[in-house]
Structure 1
Amino acid sequence: MIGVIVPAHNEEALIAHCLAALWEASRHEDLAGEAVRIVVVLDACRDFSGAIARAYGVQTLTLKARNVGIARAAGAAQLLAQGARWLAFTDADSRVAPGWLSAQLALRADAVCGSIAVDDWSPHPHSVREQFRKTYLDADGHRHVHGANFGVSADAYRRAGGFPPLECSEDVALVDRLIASGARIAWSAAPRVITSARTAARARGGFGDTLAAWAAA
């Protein structure tokens, strides 16, 4: 079974798009009918994120940690206990491509670090889009780490010790642990994810704050 983890904090505006994309990816023909289970980790949500997730028929897990590292780890633990052999992570403000899961598995690595794309730059001045275009490498061999586009085998995840309880850069910390454990990591642009360039970032120090800093500069 393939497990997909989506942490969410007050994501009622975007989570339906995320789950619709995951539903399509979970039924991709290249998965050959393998079961895919999705869990939305509702972390200190005060909106309708949970109701929307349940309407899509996915599992939900409720926390009050307000910590994305704890949320990702909790979702992973739940799916590992159910027998997941592969864990895939994205964010509630992101939309995966139909071949997202199959592209991760096709790389035959212990872990996959994918790149991201943005399709709506309207919240930002043109300079932010240009800065992203000039500095961001969306190609195989990149060295980006995004919780919105990440996959790891169950065995490698366990050997590395999982996500640390960090409010930011928990994904980078896990990749560092994976490298230290000798895991084979694919730095690939094949698994495609479109993410939000919104100005109201959910995690301090994450992608949204990077874009805001570029706008301020």
Structure 2
Amino acid sequence: MRRPASPLQGVTLRHAVVVIPAHDEASRLRGCVQSVLDAAAHLPFETSVVVVLDACTDGSAELAQSFGAAVHAVEVNLRNVGAARAAGFDYAKSLPTAASDDEVWYATTDADSRVDPDWLIRQIGSGADVVLGVVRVPNWRNTSTVAIRRYLSSYQTKYRPDGRGHRHVHGANMGFRAATYWQTGGFATLANDEDVDLVNRFRAAGVRIDSDRRISVSTSARPVGRAPRGFAAHLRSVATGVTTERT
């Protein structure tokens, strides 16, 4: 019997880099980093994990460093999620590797999220220049049933009827070719919507974008987030019934 084709068959990449911005995330960071390392273990080439510790004072730095050589811990004092993501990829550019930008895959997630084991395999195997996934919330502690139903109903309105497409953009779940990232200018220094801004520039550049809701990461339902108008702010607005637009 013929074996099914590998999801990476025909892929010419030689290296992957995952950037995780963190600001006082000690309680969640270990699970996030470990999930990324588990996903990286499914790739046939090396993955560099870069944790950008932005003005951390809670032990996040020590936690990231505890992973040893598997994780690059970069300490900055930017207090800005867009700048922190950009700093992570700037650092990645300096990593010693024989791979060209056309042979490197970049991905990013958030410190309060956990990626699935097939996260990188699905991104890279899509064949696209940019891949956008979705998020799920496994623990709705301290959130009312009404608010949960309202959020899920609103979230699903951006699912496309083809069974896999969607219209969401999450910095916690996106990946792109390194060459595409640099050609488009990378993450801007924005305290909010740095992910949406980058994707808008990808779209303007006409690159191949795959929006796949089968590529999912779990994230927290914390009421206070790091970005003033980020995912946590959106969840608060859903709870009050005054929903702010969030892609």
The TM-score range, normalised by the shorter chain, is over 0.9
Aligned-pair CA distance for 1:192: 2.0
- For residues 39 and 46 of structure 1, the distance between their equivalents in structure 2, rounded to whole angstroms, comes to 18
Report the equivalent of 2:117. 98
* One of 209, 222, 227 as aligned partner of 1:203: 227
Deviation string 1:57-112 (CA, Å, 9 cap, x unpaired) is 21011111100110001101111232461110000000000110001001110000
Q: Which has the larger radius of gyration?
A: 2
Report the equivalent of 2:177. 153
* One of 105, 129, 134 as aligned partner of 1:115: 134
- TM-score w.r.t. the length of structure 1 is 0.95
Aligned-pair CA distance for 1:50: 0.7
Kindly indicate whether residue 83 of structure 2 is the aligned counterpart of residue 70 of structure 1: yes
Specify the code of the residue in structure 2 equivalent to 1:216: T
Identity of aligned residues (%): 41
Asked if 1 retains the 8 angstrom alpha-carbon contact of 2:81 and 2:226, the reply is no
User: What is the count of residue pairs matched by the alignment?
Assistant: 214
Deviation string 1:148-183 (CA, Å, 9 cap, x unpaired) is 000010111011100110001000000011111111
Kindly indicate whether residue 100 of structure 2 is the aligned counterpart of residue 89 of structure 1: no
Asked if 2 retains the 8 angstrom alpha-carbon contact of 1:89 and 1:148, the reply is yes
Asked if 1 retains the 8 angstrom alpha-carbon contact of 2:65 and 2:72, the reply is yes
Report the equivalent of 1:191. 215
Aligned-pair CA distance for 1:202: 1.6
Aligned to 1:51, what secondary structure does the other structure show? helix
Asked if 1 retains the 8 angstrom alpha-carbon contact of 2:186 and 2:198, the reply is yes
- For residues 91 and 232 of structure 2, the distance between their equivalents in structure 1, rounded to whole angstroms, comes to 28
Specify the code of the residue in structure 1 equivalent to 2:59: F
- Structure 1, gaps ≥5 residues long: none
- TM-score w.r.t. the length of structure 2 is 0.84
Q: How much is the aligned-residue C-alpha RMSD, in angstroms? A: 1.2
Report the equivalent of 2:58. 47
- For residues 147 and 40 of structure 2, the distance between their equivalents in structure 1, rounded to whole angstroms, comes to 33
Asked if 1 retains the 8 angstrom alpha-carbon contact of 2:109 and 2:173, the reply is yes
Aligned-pair CA distance for 1:147: 0.3
Specify the code of the residue in structure 1 equivalent to 2:51: V
Deviation string 1:113-171 (CA, Å, 9 cap, x unpaired) is 10111100113111221012212136522110000000010111011100110001000
